[in-house]
Amino acid sequence: MKALVVRLDSFGDVLLAGPAVRAVAARADSVTLLCGPLGAPAARLLPGVDDVVVWDAPWAGFAPPPVRPAEVAGLVGMLDADTALILTSFHQSPLPTALLLRLAGVAHIAADSEDYPGSLLDVRHHRAPHAHEAEAALELAAAAGFPAVDDGLPRVLPPPDTAALSGPEPYVVVHPGASVPARAWSAGRCAEAVAELTAAGHRVVVTGGAGERELTARVAGPHALDLGGRTGAAELSGVLARAAAVVTGNTGPAHLAAAVGTPVVSLFAPVVPAERWRPYGVPYVLLGDQDAPCADSRARECPVPGHPCLETVTAQDVLVAVEKVMQQ
C-alpha cells in the first residue's frame, strides 16, 4: 500500500504531523509527505517518510501563489498513492486538496472536515474541539485505519553532532525570530533576557535563520554565542537537543525543541490557542497574557498597540521560567 500524508503549512505544523506519519508508516509499504516550501525542511527530518513532494498550494501559507493550471496538472500527474491522510488545522478546509487527490486517482482519502465533502472523502472525521494539533492528527490517522504505534510524541531523525558549532554544554538557547510578527517577543526584550540569563551564570546560544542575522546579532550582543544563519534544520535540531532549555515564541523551533526532548519556555502570544499549539510532550512554561484582547484573533500583526500580551513579560520572568523547566 502506497500512502500519502498531506500537511501544506509551515515548519512547526509538519513537525506536529510526525506522530501521525509514524502511525501510517507502520502499516504502509511507503509514505510520501506532500508539504509546502516552508514545511519541507521539517518533512525531511521525520521518521517514516520515504519521499517528500513540495508544492506551494494556492490555499495555504502566508503568501499563497496564484492558481497555475499547468502546475496543478503536474502535481496531479506525479502523485501516486492508494490512500491519503490530509492534515489541516481546525480553521482550514481539506477539500481543495481532496479534489486534486481524487483527480490523481487516490482511492481512499481521510480528513477532518466540517464542510459537506460530497464524494471527495471516504473518511469524514470531526476533530475534538480542544485537541492539540499532534493529538488531532493522530486521531484522524486512527479513524483512517492507522492507530498509533508508539507514545505519539513529536520526534525527528537523530540530530547531527553540533558540539563544534554550539560549544560546550550546558547552555540555554534563545531563538528570537518568528514567521508571524504577532508571535514574536521584541528584540529589545530578548536582549534583556540574554543579559539576565548570562548574569545568572547561564551560557546562552542565540539561533536564527539566514534572514535573521541582524536580529540575532542584536539579541546576542556581547553576552551570547550568535549562530544566526549558521544552522539548517538538521543542525538546529542538534543545537536544540544539547540545550538545557530553549526560549522562543510560538514558532517552529519550539516544536523542534520538543521533538528532540528539550524543555521550552514559550513566549506565547494568544492569537492562536495554546491548547492546540503549545510545546507538546516536554516540560514547558507559557509566558504571555493568554486572555489579552488579541486572543484567538489569528492576527499576523499585533492588533493592540505596544504588543502588551508579550511585552509585559520581563527578563526576570524568563530567567525564573528557564530555571523551573530545567528542574523538571
Share of the chain above pLDDT 70, in %: 100
Of 216, 196, 219, 203, the closest CA to residue 171 belongs to 203
Please determine, for residue 306, whether its predicted confidence score (pLDDT) is greater than 90.
Answer: no
pLDDT tens digits along 28-54: 999 999 999 999 999 999 999 999 999
CATH topology of domain 2-143: Rossmann fold (3.40.50)
Residues of the chain with CATH 3.40.50.2000: 2-143, 163-326
CATH 1.10.357.10 fits 163-326, yes or no: no
Closest by Cα among 321, 327, 284, 319 to 198:
319
Beta-strand pair 204-206/172-175: parallel
245 vs 60 pLDDT, higher one: 245
**Which position has the higher pLDDT, 194 or 293?**
194
Q: What's the per-residue H, E or C state across 102-144? A: HHCCCCEEEEECCCCCCCCCCEEECCCCCCCHHHHHHHHHHHC
Residue 146 pLDDT: 98
Q: Is the pLDDT of residue 299 over 80?
A: no
Quote the pLDDT of residue 292.
Answer: 84
226-272 pLDDT, tens per residue?
999 999 999 999 999 999 999 999 999 999 999 999 999 999 988 88
Residue 293: pLDDT over 90 = no
